[in-house]
Amino acid sequence: MNKGKWLAVPALTWLILFFAAPLLMIALYSFFQRGLYGELVYEWTIHNYTRLFDSLYGKIMLDTLVVSFLTTFLTLMIAYPLAYYIAGLKPHKQKIWLLLMMLPFWINFLIRSYAWVVILRSQGIVNMVLMHFGWIEEPLQLLYNNGAVMLGMVYTLLPFMVLPIYVTLEKLERNKLEAAYDLGATPWKAFLHVTLPLTKSGIINGCVIVFVSSIGMFIVPDVMGGAKTMLLGNLIQNQFLSARDWPFGSAASMVLMVLSLVLLYWQYRAGKVKNGQEVLKL
């Protein structure tokens, strides 16, 4: 073995012990059965997977996909204009905006989630301001619904959408835009036919990261959705910690893992096709 390859041994050992091995255990547990008192019964079955498509759990999976799609769409609608604005600034101003984007990561994720509870609760800042100006007579129910969950997810995942799009906008060849203007294109047409297609890779990367993070999110739905919102991440958490049904929780985890891998593979293929097209153009 090349001496340089030994440098990868610590990282590979870490990944095998704390990622590959636990993942293999979860995959095996998903085919076992739950005993009467929550213990594992080592009898092979696929009931844990078929159970996920029952009416109750099927609705949870559907709700998870809908909330994740809407969260990804809203995040994209907010992130693209913001990334476009940042990319058009001078370098020192870009650094300031990027720093502001990263500031929330300096605060604990759970604290940030509870901060939204303080803002949106019945006696929170939003309701107090609305009632102070007489715009409402009684507090609005802004918490513990899918809208609040999506708000928390968009706030949490916005930087993961902004940064990939910003990188592609920053690498955008300005001479192509100038050529479009020389040919008589309006700013809107130049954006649709030049800027948007050339930043497609950043959009795809951002959407995949946000969507994969959304379908596995459980803290935001738990804190801001309460008992009224149950997504796939909350279901997995409850099966492992409350119901003590590790086989069923493992099956739900494997479905989530497979869905994430499919999206990542699609992202890889989309990037490979794009790179191949660029090579052909050269």
DSSP states of 208-259: HHHHHHHHT--HHIIIIIGGG---HHHHHHHHHHTS--HHHHHHHHHHHHHH
- Predicted confidence (pLDDT) per residue in 155-203, tens digit: 999 999 999 999 999 888 777 877 887 778 888 888 888 888 889 989 9
Q: Is the pLDDT of residue 250 over 70?
A: yes
Weakest-pLDDT range from 144-148, 190-194, 266-270: 266-270
Q: Is the pLDDT of residue 276 over 70?
A: no
Q: What is the pLDDT of residue 249?
A: 93
Q: Is the pLDDT of residue 275 over 90?
A: no
- Residue 144 contacts residue 220 (beta carbons within 8 Å): no
Average pLDDT (3-25) is 87
Q: Is the pLDDT of residue 72 over 90?
A: yes
- pLDDT band for 37, please (50, 70, 90 cuts): confident
Weakest-pLDDT range from 13-22, 88-97, 103-112, 249-258: 103-112
How many Cα neighbours within 13 Å face the side chain of 4? 0
Burial (CB count <10 Å: 0-12, 13-18, 19+), residue 181: middle
What is the residue-averaged pLDDT of the chain?
A: 87
Q: Which two tokens stand for residue 160?
A: 């993961």
Q: Is the pLDDT of residue 273 over 70?
A: no
Please give the residue that has the higher pLDDT: either 44 or 7: 44
Q: What is the pLDDT of residue 279?
A: 36
Average pLDDT (11-32) is 92
Hey, how many other C-beta atoms are within 10 angstroms of the C-beta on 212?
20
**The one-letter amino acid at 216:** G
- Predicted confidence (pLDDT) per residue in 74-101, tens digit: 999 999 999 999 998 998 999 999 999 8
Residues 127/128/130/136 CA torsion (nearest 10 deg): 70
Q: What is the pLDDT of residue 68?
A: 93
Structural domains of the chain in order of their starting residue, each with its CATH number: 54-281 (1.10.3720.10)
Q: What is the pLDDT of residue 280?
A: 37
Q: What is the pLDDT of residue 177?
A: 78
